[in-house]
Amino acid sequence: MANTFQEVFIDCKRNIQIPLLQRDYVQGGRESVIVPFLEQLVSAVLNEDCTVNLNYIYGYEEEDGFIPIDGQQRLITLWLLHLYIYSQRSLFFPVDLKFESREFADAFSKKLKEKLSDALKLTGVKLKDYIVDSPWFVTGWLYDATVANMLEALNKIHEIIGGIPASDIYTQNISFDFLNIKEVGLDDDVYVKMNGRGRPLTYFENLKSWMDEQVKTLFGEDDQFTKDWRTKMDNDWSELFWNNRNTKQEHPEEIDDEQLRFFYSMLLLFWKKNDIGFCSNESDETRRKVLKTLLECKELISLYQINKFALFNREVFRFISESLDVLREISIYVNKKLDERITKILGFDSSETTLLYKIALKEATYEKTIPLLYALVKTPKAYRGENLFRWFRLWRNLILNSTINSENIVNVCRTIDIIATKVGDTSDLYKVFSEFKYEKGAGFSEEQLLEETAKARKLYENEAWEDSLIEAENNKYLKGKVWVLFQNDNSTNLELFVQRLSLLNCIIENQDEYYLPKILISYYDRETPETAIELKKSENNWKILLTVKGKGLFSCYRKIQSNMINPEIKNQWIKDLATTQLLNNSRDNAKIIERYGENNVVLWGTPGRKRTTFGNEVWGNVVIGNYRTLLLEAGLELVNKNNVVPNTNFITGFDVNFKYDNHYFQWWGSPNKIELDVYLMYKNEDEELDYVQKTNTTIQKGNDEDKYFCFRVDSQMTTTVFIEKLKGLIASAQNG
């Protein structure tokens, strides 16, 4: 049920008590946040027909007032707005705003409530300046972030509605969903169960309070770690999250979701690395569920469970503290210096959020963001400045070209640890990695580790490689895996590498959108494919063609010496694909080349009937390289015009029906026990084509010629012979 500030606080004379562990009031100090927010509120209070709902304000009642858990920032802004309106009317305002732990903010709020009415009677003076210059204002208050931001918010309120008559202000148009958990008998699990606008209500403020108490218990109240933890949580680290929040979300003034995502990721990383002691008294199923919850962050782990499972200990807090310190130190370089040449192949969305938000605060995946985050928090001191991109580039390449999951993430982290330790404060990353020896269980792809080792050796010997390597790694089809450009493997020099990269770019830029697979397949030297080859156009698929040695066309690229299709193609099926428009006019969702039978090659993905192959529903097929198309064009009439691939001379389908001399035929009929190729057909009573059977069947030949009028086609058959064979079937049938 929606409530107003008037109903909940003013009419009930209910004070507001900001508890010990809540963060500073920051909403008023961020112009990009407070101005749109106030304009939203003002549009409601100045328009009788306009309303705005501010979602849940959630907390519990104590003797000194209402203590907010979620909605503190909005509540302070609402208190300032209503105090201003009451003071403007010279009315008594019955609601006190108290701060349990911020002495300056508490004293300022008390004085502001007493003195604001007088301040509003003056004109021609900036409200903030008048208040600061007043005798009752203590100069030291300005050093308190909450006081400073309250002044800014109040000043904005004054600028927007200062000259508007009180009778024209409708505060009842601003509402929120008020929840007093003691009245309704709920606890902190309500965050999991309730949702104001389709979003889970954050419980981070409760978790933060709990963590602060745990730190005090584990380290001691007077320990320096405890003091630093509290100070940094309310200042340095809070600022880090604030600066990297999603400013485009519905409530950009809220950062609890971002903080919770990060802390869950840190817990996940720590316990994946240090599984001894993790939920030690729980079942395997419970441990899996906890890790799944930490990864997905869709459901929340109650404080009771966090305590029961002992998810936080001294080592966890130290790990989180050290990680946050590193992120704060490198955040400007992550967001400003890791420009497009390092980040564009990561595949993140193009939203106007920081790179750090996308890696650490948005979502967690074993495949990409979790290992990227770990690589960042383990950045050696020597690489926490302008050269951060060198450290990040290495792990980007390894992560994008390895299969990382819940099982091997621990090995991935340990490999990062090994390199980070060896690099330390001063060592050269390229030197360290050039000496890296692959061992089974490194977590990353062996092939990519060996490639990165070779590249590090090149860079250590000559940093002139750097720009060319980065350009190649950013190719949308290579994505960090560029060994195909090392024409002579480790002995490849920079000049040859640049030439091979230039050749690849030239091929990709060809106006024929399928020129890349065409030129690659034109150098394929096998009679038929040994494994299925996908030629459909997608960045990931064409990456496979260029980078996967066993499955793609990796070796073909190394045979290419120019940007021209191989003029010495010998296999007809390769010529069909490389020199025609067949690929261009096939269906995009398939385009799979595979061997069919002994010597035939089929292209799946052309117009025609649907078939399941390689787990995908694809349409149609073309048997290529066996002269069927050429023979079927010899003055014949296709029964179904859809058998022709658009804009080509290729005929699709295994069962192709055609006419010659007013007789029906089918190529590759379906009932055959021992398959031949061309069959004489007739139209039955249902006007459907059926096979013409011989009156006298035999078993002499042991194939379909014993029962049907049919013949075999071989690759040496000419058009003339093919037509004579058709005539022969007609004559044989007429003669009985």
Residue ranges per domain, the chain? Answer: 2-186, 204-461, 466-505, 510-611, 655-734
The tokens of 499 are what?
Answer: 């030439």
Confidence of residue 608 (pLDDT cuts 50, 70, 90): low
Largest pairwise CA distance in the chain: 123
Query: Taking 90 as the threshold, does the pLDDT of residue 97 lie above it?
Result: yes
The tokens of 96 are what?
Answer: 């006190």
Calculate mean pLDDT across residues 204-210.
Answer: 84
The mean predicted confidence, pLDDT, of the chain is 86
Q: What is the percent of the chain where pLDDT is above 90?
A: 49
Residue with tokens 């790694």: 473
pLDDT of residue 602: 83
Greater confidence (301 vs 690) lies with: 690
pLDDT of residue 191: 41
Calculate mean pLDDT across residues 98-108.
Answer: 87
Least confident of 466-480, 523-537, 649-663: 649-663
Calculate mean pLDDT across residues 62-76.
Answer: 84
Question: Sign (positive/negative) of CA torsion 165, 167, 171, 173?
Answer: negative
Query: Taking 50 as the threshold, does the pLDDT of residue 694 lie above it?
Result: yes
Query: Taking 70 as the threshold, does the pLDDT of residue 148 lie above it?
Result: yes
For every residue of 423-479, DSSP letters joined together read HTTT--HHHHHHT----TT-SS-HHHHHHHHHHHHHHHH-TTHHHHHHHHHTSTTTT
Pick from 100, 128, 103: which is nearest to 15 by CA?
100
Q: Measured between alpha carbons, how far apart are the two ends of the chain, in Å? A: 89
CB 431 within 8 A of CB 478: no
pLDDT of residue 72: 84
pLDDT of residue 156: 87
CB 72 within 8 A of CB 22: yes
Query: Taking 50 as the threshold, does the pLDDT of residue 193 lie above it?
Result: no
pLDDT of residue 157: 87
Query: Taking 80 as the threshold, does the pLDDT of residue 492 lie above it?
Result: yes
Question: What SS3 state is found at 349?
Answer: coil
Query: Taking 80 as the threshold, does the pLDDT of residue 44 lie above it?
Result: no
For every residue of 669-706, DSSP letters joined together read -SS-SS--SEEEEEE-TTS-EEEPBPSS---SSSSGGG
Determine the length of the chain.
Answer: 736
Greater confidence (51 vs 523) lies with: 523
Query: Taking 80 as the threshold, does the pLDDT of residue 29 lie above it?
Result: no
Write the pLDDT tens digit of every residue in 222-279. 999 999 999 999 889 999 999 999 888 877 777 888 999 999 999 999 999 887 778 8
Question: Sign (positive/negative) of CA torsion 462, 467, 468, 474?
Answer: positive
Q: How far is CA 178 from the centre of its chain?
A: 35
CB 16 within 8 A of CB 96: yes
Beta pairing partners, 658:
638, 665
Write the pLDDT tens digit of every residue in 382-424. 999 999 999 999 999 999 999 999 999 999 999 999 999 999 9
pLDDT of residue 531: 86
Beta pairing partners, 722:
none
Least confident of 1-10, 176-185, 574-583, 610-619: 610-619
Most confident region among 206-210, 344-348, 377-381, 640-644 by mean pLDDT: 377-381
Calculate mean pLDDT across residues 324-348.
Answer: 89
Query: Residue 458 and residue 469: Cα distance in Å, rounded?
Result: 10
Greater confidence (200 vs 265) lies with: 265
Query: Taking 80 as the threshold, does the pLDDT of residue 158 lie above it?
Result: yes
Alpha helix positions (H), 490-588 = 494-508, 515-521, 539-547, 554-559, 572-578
Greater confidence (638 vs 453) lies with: 453
Pick from 442, 356, 434: which is nearest to 403 by CA?
442
Confidence of residue 38 (pLDDT cuts 50, 70, 90): confident
Greater confidence (594 vs 600) lies with: 594
Query: Taking 90 as the threshold, does the pLDDT of residue 731 lie above it?
Result: yes
Query: Residue 108 and residue 145: Cα distance in Å, rounded?
Result: 12
Cross-sheet strand order for the sheet of 2-3: 2-3, 174-180, 52-62, 65-70, 16-18, 97-99
Greater confidence (540 vs 588) lies with: 540
Distances (CA, A) of 106 to 19, 41, 78, 135, 143: 11, 25, 17, 18, 14
pLDDT of residue 703: 86
Greater confidence (654 vs 470) lies with: 470
Query: Taking 90 as the threshold, does the pLDDT of residue 473 lie above it?
Result: yes
Calculate mean pLDDT across residues 108-136.
Answer: 89
pLDDT of residue 615: 42
Query: Taking 60 as the threshold, does the pLDDT of residue 669 lie above it?
Result: no
Greater confidence (710 vs 62) lies with: 710
Most confident region among 8-22, 93-107, 669-683 by mean pLDDT: 93-107
Query: Residue 307 and residue 259: Cα distance in Å, rounded?
Result: 19
Write the pLDDT tens digit of every residue in 555-590. 999 999 999 999 999 888 999 999 999 898 887 777
Calculate mean pLDDT across residues 433-444.
Answer: 91
pLDDT of residue 182: 63
Calculate mean pLDDT across residues 512-541.
Answer: 92
Pick from 488, 535, 485, 496: which is nearest to 514 by CA?
535
